[in-house]
Structures are given as structure tokens and as C-alpha cells.
Structure 1
Amino acid sequence: MAEVIDAPEVAQAPAAVTLSERAAVHVQKFLAKRGKGVGLRLGVRTTGCSGMAYKLEFVDETSSEDTRFESHGVAIFVDPKSLPYLQGMELDYTREGLNEGFKFNNPNEKDRCGCGESFRV
């Protein structure tokens, strides 16, 4: 029988927020074309019929409050309010027929509205 040992509580690091290789290549190309920027900021905002929507923007100046991840050579910044909703998420870049764009593969997402613009956790 295993013995349970009391140990000091260890702060658990948040699950990484990552980019697929395709998304990283797309971001790197866009940053190079743009001529400035240190990475990508991901976040959530309250809106839509399901409650939340993703925010995606290029970062020119970092914030000391952001959690920084790196994936395929791209820095990803997430603000403290958004982090619980995005932990473990992978951002992909897909092409489906004539449409192409970012796809949010978020394990925290429980439901998505019919138009695909908002989600619920």
C-alpha cells in the first residue's frame, strides 16, 4: 500500500498554448511582411450568442502581466484573464475549399454558436 506524504503545495504551471507548424509559418511570414512585432497575443472577450469570442492580434510591445509561451519559434502572449480559458489550446491555420484562416482547437470549449463566432466553456 502506498504511503501518502504531505508535501508543500507546488504551483502548477499553466498548460501550454501552442501553434501548429502551419500557423507558426503563417504568423512568421506576416510578421516579416509587417516589418515589426515580437509575437502573437491570444485572448478572449465577452460577446456573441455563446458568451465568449477569441481575440488575436500581433504584439509590438509586451506586458509584464502576460504569460509567454513559445511554439515553433513564435512567441505567444496571453493575458491573465484569458489564460484559464485558453490553457491547452492549439492555434492551427487551415485551408478548407476557398476559405482559409486560423482554427482554435481549445479543449476547454464546451459549445460553439451556430455562426462559429463565439463559444462557451
Structure 2
Amino acid sequence: MSFTVTRAAEKFIRRLLMFDGGPGSALRLAVSPGGCSGLSAEFDVESAPREGDKLVEVGDIRFFLPAESRLLLEGVTIDFAETPTSSGFVFLDPNAASCGCSTEDAAESVAG
């Protein structure tokens, strides 16, 4: 499985892990179909994987990913965006079908 994490997303994840995690903790990222970009997600810092989760490492960042998330994240770039009114992950999927959204709306922000 292969996905990319941008520097902005990496910085956000490291902050989460530093403040909410302990040794061996990882970001549990549950991705599901939805939103204009095709993906929405829930995330939390956890000390151990749940049943069915797989440990995936991107660089030195650890993720616990359920099976569906592993499939949906293939080839995706995970970014983090912060605006005056919202902040959250943005999933950039080069394989997603184009929708009628504007360019600005084409990437789905997901706050946790």
C-alpha cells in the first residue's frame, strides 16, 4: 500500500502524537467514501491497533488503518489545511472521478 503525507499533515500528526500519545502510539485513520473528493475520515491517537487494523508506517509516522482505509488511501496524498474558519485533513486522490465542484471544493477537508 502506498500513500503520501505532506509536510503540513506530518507536522499536524506529530503534534497529535506528541500531546495525545505515548510510546508505540499511532494515528488511527478510518477513511470512508464520502464528500466531494470521495473521502471522509475519522481519526484518533491510539496506543494499540483495533481488531482488523494494520500498522502502516510512512517515514517514521505510524498509522493504524482498518482494511477499508488501506484500500481507499492507495495513491492518495494526505495534506492538512488551516483557514480562518476551519482546519483538517485534505485528501488528494488523483484517481477520483471529477465532480461538479469548484477547484477549491474538490479536496475534502476533514476535522477530527
TM band (smaller chain): 0.5 to 0.7
1:29: which partner in 2? 15
**How big is the shift at 1:107?**
2.7
| 1:104 shift after superposition | 1.0
RMSD: 3.3
> Residue type matched to 1:57 in 2?
D
Number of the residue aligned with 1:3: none
Match of 2:15, as an amino acid?
Answer: K
Partner of 2:55: 68
Q: Kindly name which structure, 1 or 2, has the bigger radius of gyration based on alpha carbons.
A: 1
**Greater displacement, 37-46 / 48-57:** 48-57
Structure 2 spans left out of the alignment, 5+ residues: none
Q: Structure 1 regions of 5+ residues with no counterpart? A: 1-13
- State the number of aligned residues: 104
Q: Which amino acid aligns with 1:24?
A: E
Per-residue deviation at 1:50?
8.8
- Sequence identity of aligned pairs in percent? 24
Alignment match, 1:11: none
Equivalent in the alignment of 1:92? 79
- SS of 2:62's partner is strand
Q: Which amino acid aligns with 2:81?
A: T
| Pairing 1:39–2:29 present | no
